[in-house]
Amino acid sequence: MIIHREYAGNLGLHHLEACMDKSRKNERKFTLSVFETGCCVVCYVVPNRDYCKGIWDKGGGKLDYGLQLCEKMRIQDVFSWTSIITTYVWTGQEDRAIKAFIRMQEAGVSPNEYTFAGVISRVANLARVEWGEQLHAHVLQRGFISLLSVENSIVTMHAKCGCLASGSKVFHEMSRRDIVSWNTLIAGYSQGGYGEEAFQFLSWMRRDGPQPNEFALASVLSVCGSMAMLEQGKQLHTHVLFVGLEFTSMVQSALVNMHSKCGSIKEAAIFDVTELSDIISWTAMINGYAEHGFYREPIVLFKKIPRVGLKPDLVTFIGVLVACCHAGMVDLGFHYNSMSNDFGINPAKEHYGCTVDLLYQAGRLGEAEDMIKSMPFQQDDVVWSTLLRACRLHGDTDCRRRAVDEILKLDPSCAATHITLVNMYAAKGKWREAVEVRIMMRSKGVIKEPGWSWIKVKDQPSEFVADLSENWFLTNWFQFSEIVDPLIHSCDFVVPGFIAGFQLYLVQIVNLTL
């Protein structure tokens, strides 16, 4: 059977589709006949993502067979290779897409802008920034940098690889930007935890760019929740209402999540009077209630989920288990944990962590330790740290020591665990052992990371780091101590031990920051 290139598109597609509905045998015969003549171009056979997946899935999902034939065709051009690469991209085979790109150049076929856009997007998913930089240089050399699809893929690559400064530089150099350009960088800053930058880019987008869509607004709302930026979140909520995007599932979930994480439960309760169609919004509300100590509300919401035709997921169960932990309802927590199997959910590490929490809430440390050892996953320091906290609260020294040993096996450089060990020896009066642990920390280069937080000064969020001696808080603290310390000593009545404790606190502050 011979098909001319100009007619291969429609005839080939309809014939292949009919063959798929009948049998794999007919499809193979047709494909081989076309392959032998070298007249069918693969870009005609895979016109879009959905068709590519659908037509080959009908034949049992044997996509590799078709791609192997396409790569061996006698007539190959940039469209054929780009389609092969794109098909690998659509099916999540990043490594094979990049290998096909290399073979394409070895065959003497020059890539076009669509080829570069596809390959660079796959490099972004693999987080291989060194490959991305090489492709970026290749794009500059070929003169494709001014094309919007290529520029967007480069910005995406830098953002997904965490190189936001490079991505921002490319963004600022773009002669033309579309909604994808803006959303990519805003999402990159949001996912990287750079809330202020994400908010600034969104403000810039509202002023000079296209109208922000639900993706951009949801990204910034998410980071507002993570950083407890309630005022900025409320401003965005107002904008969402103004542009009429409050009923999109993505924005609704982000609003519930933001208000919940900021402790604004009443505002988050707007969820109760809103028709939401996805489990993400329900889960956000359940977790919001659970994180702030409410235990009845998450359980009530959880019971409503099957009634509205939804199915709870892994994260939903975690929210319910956290609520049971806060309320100390051990039996109810185990009941819901067992229910996860009814919904086809295999317990993850997080479920085991919540179960360990439930057991130590009830003082059943032995059972908690046995559960950790019987986990069907590789043990990590998180669950042992949970047990360590429980041992400290319940005063179980032996279990505490075993937990410390297990954590140090998994993470020998864990500063928090070393300090816990020092405090444990100090509480028992074993000062020599405490000093030895300190010396060991110094010899191993184990240093506790300084604590940090955010503080708002004149509506400007600023980072406060404990060991940053030049920050404004420390300067004011020393000024405060110079005034207060003489006043305390000059008081007619002083609570015994207060002066010593205050001076010790000053010494600790100085040691931390200098």
Q: Does residue 210 register a pLDDT over 80? A: yes
User: What is the 3-state secondary structure of 503-514?
Assistant: HHHHHHHHHHHC
Q: What is the DSSP code string of 355-418? A: HHHHHHHTT-HHHHHHHHHT-SS---HHHHHHHHHHHHHHT-HHHHHHHHHHHHHH-TT-HHHH
pLDDT in tens, 463-480: 666 555 445 544 555 555
pLDDT in tens, 389-447: 777 777 777 787 788 888 888 877 788 888 887 887 777 778 888 888 888 888 878 77
Q: Are 426 and 472 in contact (CB under 8 A)?
A: no
pLDDT at 303 (0 to 100): 87
Give the model's confidence band at 491: pLDDT under 50 very low, under 70 low, under 90 confident, else very high: low
The owner of tokens 């690469």 is: 85
Give the model's confidence band at 455: pLDDT under 50 very low, under 70 low, under 90 confident, else very high: low
**In the chain, % of residues over pLDDT 90:** 5
Give the model's confidence band at 499: pLDDT under 50 very low, under 70 low, under 90 confident, else very high: very low
Helix, strand, or coil (residue 462): strand
Report the distance separating Cα 209 and Cα 199, nearest Å. 14
Q: Are 114 and 146 in contact (CB under 8 A)?
A: no
Q: List the Cα angle 352/357/361 in 5-degree steps.
A: 150
pLDDT in tens, 246-290: 878 888 888 888 888 887 877 777 665 445 567 888 888 888 888
Q: Are 295 and 324 in contact (CB under 8 A)?
A: yes
pLDDT in tens, 47-95: 444 444 444 444 434 455 555 655 565 546 788 778 777 777 777 777 7
Give the model's confidence band at 496: pLDDT under 50 very low, under 70 low, under 90 confident, else very high: very low
pLDDT at 282 (0 to 100): 85
Query: 30 or 317: which carries more pLDDT confidence?
Result: 317
From 308, 302, 310, 309, select the one nearest 332 (Cα to Cα).
302
pLDDT at 511 (0 to 100): 42
